[in-house]
Chains A and B, each alone.
Chain A
Amino acid sequence: MSTKPKDGTDIAAGLLFMAIAAFFAWQSLGLEMGTSTRMGPGYFPIVLSGLLFLLGAIILVKAFGRPDDESFGRIAWRGILFILPAPIFFGLTVRGLGFVPALFITTLIASQASMRMRPLAALILAIIVTIMSTLIFSYGLGLPFRRFGPWLPV
């Protein structure tokens, strides 16, 4: 089996599409289908899920018997670890801590994604970004953010 060539990337892609399709189909089952004249909320989604499943299956099947034409490359683990939590942190704290501290910490978290960033540089960058953004967005554009939130004793 392992001697035959196969395209690992396409196998993963096909399986992922099929899994997503199965998920949407499962969720659609709880919705009313309706008739083709009066389509219910579940009609179009179930058709699309079926189509996506089919496409995923074709991608999967075609992946066998053909070598992987391009290697998978490196994965930005460090990037995933620090970049993705940054907006989540901002979302969790922007109301409680307020705009200024939330943004400051968000920028600090994001800056850790590069191994080239030194701690002092990150700190300075975060301070500059926070000051500039507060001036532009809060004072300049007048976005309705609380600059310091109720979680702080200020």
Chain B
Amino acid sequence: MDLLSNLALGFSVASSLENLLFCLIGVLLGTLIGVLPGIGATATIAMLLPITFQLEPVSSLIMLAGIYYGAQYGGSTTAILINMPGESSSAVTAIDGYQMARQGRAGTALATAALGSFFAGSVATFLVAIFAPPLTAIALKFGAAEYFSLMVMGLVMSVALAHGSVLKALAMVVLGLLLGMVGTDVYTGAPRFTMGMTQFADGLNFVAVAVGVFGIAEILRNLEDEHDRQVMTRNITRLFPTREEFRQMIGPVLRGTGVGSVLGILPGGGAILASFASYTVEKKLSKHPEEFGKGALAGVAGPESANNAGAQTSFIPLLTLGIPANPVMALMIGAMIIQGIVPGPNVVSEQPALFWGIIASMWIGNLMLVVLNLPLIGLWVKLLTVPYYVLFPIIMAMCSIGVYSVNSNPYDLFAVAFFGLLGYVMSKLRCEPAPLLLGFVLGPLLEENLRRAMILSRGDPTTFVTRPISAGLLVLSLAVLVLVFLPQIRKRRDEVFTESDA
């Protein structure tokens, strides 16, 4: 059994004392910052990214992955306790979870979220292990044209899943692509858009852009309106669900895992979609649909499982194709590149220990989350009472150190300020930052593959539609674009996102 020996390799890597430690630090930091309100998983990872650069590649990616699902978990905690989802994917959890907390069932809701997430995470880890190798085999057949089309599809999906206006999301993608062009042209060595500053010859620092548009912009948004939060702390009496509640959980958790695993693979941000889809499914299937919105256990169990499964399976396109499925995965790509690993199908064959080590560590990380978080909930709740004006100066200090530590380049810090302002202005104009970051990461790859494909086809642009895989991907992207512009779908999409904002 190849799978077993591969998993065995992975577990031996992931369970080394050092990697266990970094996994633990990752999930702890992730939960910590995920719990602190006002900072989502993307901003968290962007800010903590530089800390991991001093580590071995495996340890650093294991830690980042830990931060990712730790933050997801922390996000659900705040969603349940203060009705403030740290991540858009836990927005659904807030609907019923907060109601449960108000009824004095906060403990049950938190435990349900943890157990559901753990189950979903375990299943999804296996799915990654099973599906990643065959997909890699397909990916190895990809030429420049296929890569180009695949990235186009990823970008289109990110547009389709962004909040608000599709047009603005499209414009943000293109802006991101343009920002990705800054720096030296790989083919000719000509400097582009550097304003004559040699400090930008290597391009804009990815960490600086991410910290700016996500981290700083988010802090500024939170500072607009300072108010006190109401924390549901008194009501945590009973943590463990009763047998009856366990029975209610099983169905939603299983369905949520299935929905989440499938949607997570789609490029463009599956985890968010997954939790919404799962909520809808549970509401449709429930014998008591009227309970939804008033503290239904299934409304927490399903979406939480779905979002965790989706978070896990979104590693599949990253590990096999080197294409990020969401902004967090874009950050992981950035981390891999800085570590000197070229993301893509070759990672499995060239770095099996890294590949399987990360997969195994996902499961270990999920286990740690359950073991740690159920007893530590009291501590996380305390953290919620830390006032925001104490938090953000600390965050700013960490951002500054982190960004500077990447290249020791002061210009990166100026870029942080610039992109912080840009990100804030954009968010005021109701433009989502996620498509911009995805465009920024994919920009250079997209251009390189476009140019290579055109050279290979001797300047014949039909190469993108005559090669079957490439054509299929482009048709799919076009279909998605047409769909989001169709009036009915548009209305439905608006409804879904309005629900999330509520």
Residues of A near any B CB (own CB < 8 A): 9-10, 12-13, 16-17, 20, 24, 27-28, 31-32, 35-45, 48-49, 51-52, 55-56, 58-59, 62, 70, 72-76, 78-80, 83-88, 90-92, 94-95, 103, 106-108, 110-111, 113-117, 121-122, 125-126, 129-130, 133, 137, 141-144
Contact = CB atoms under 8 A, between A and B. Distances in A.
Interface string B450-465: 1100110011010000
Contacts of B428: 9, 72-73, 75
B394 A129 contact: yes
Contacts of B410: 91-92, 94-95
Interface of B: 51, 54, 165, 167-168, 170-171, 174-175, 177-178, 181, 185, 187-188, 190, 192-193, 216, 219-221, 223-226, 387-390, 392-394, 396-401, 403-405, 408, 410-414, 416-417, 420-421, 424-425, 428-431, 447, 450-451, 454-455, 458-459, 461
Nearest to A142: B54
A106 B396 CA distance: 8
A90 B404 contact: yes
Given A106-B396, A141-B54, A87 B171 contact: no
Contact of A79 (B192, B224, B403, B411): B224
Interface SS of chain B: helix
A87 B177 CA distance: 25
A53 B90 CA distance: 35
B454 A39 contact: yes
A106 B221 contact: no
Given A76-B220, A87-B414, A94-B404, 8 more contacts: A36-B459, A55-B171, A56-B171, A73-B224, A94-B410, A107-B394, A114-B226, A133-B397
B221 A126 contact: no
B54 A87 contact: no
B455 A38 contact: yes
A75 to B, nearest CB: 7
Nearest to A23: B193
Contacts of A103: 397, 400-401
Nearest to B174: A52
B187 A84 contact: no
B220 A80 contact: yes
B277 to A, nearest CB: 26
Nearest to B189: A41
A60 to B, nearest CB: 10
Given A36-B459, A110-B397, A13 B219 contact: no
Contacts of A80: 220, 421, 424
A8 to B, nearest CB: 10
Nearest to B195: A27
A27 B193 contact: yes
Contact of A90 (B411, B413, B458): B413
A125 B171 CA distance: 41
Given A55-B174, A73-B428, A37 B393 contact: no
Nearest to B459: A37
A121 B458 CA distance: 66
A135 to B, nearest CB: 12
A72 B427 CA distance: 10
Contacts of A59: 165, 167-168, 171
Contacts of B450: 39, 44
B421 to A, nearest CB: 6
B388 A114 contact: yes
A115 B417 CA distance: 21
B256 to A, nearest CB: 32
Nearest to A85: B417
Nearest to A59: B167
B223 A83 contact: yes
A83 B459 contact: no
B414 to A, nearest CB: 6
Contacts of A129: 393-394, 397
Task: Across the A-B interface, give the 3 residue pairs with the lowest CB-CB distance, nearest first.
Answer: A37-B459, A91-B413, A91-B410
B167 A62 contact: yes
Contacts of B403: 87
A126 B399 CA distance: 15
B171 A17 contact: yes
A92 B188 CA distance: 33
8 contacts: A9-B429, A44-B451, A70-B430, A74-B225, A87-B400, A110-B392, A114-B226, A125-B390
A17 B389 CA distance: 33
A49 B413 contact: no
B431 A84 contact: no
A16 B429 contact: yes
A48 B396 contact: no
Contacts of A13: 168, 171, 429-431
B168 A83 contact: no
A91 B416 CA distance: 10
A32 B421 contact: no
A69 to B, nearest CB: 9
B400, B416, B425 pick with most chain A CB within 10 angstroms: B400
B51, B220, B405, B459 pick with most chain A CB within 10 angstroms: B220
Nearest to B192: A41
Contacts of A122: 393
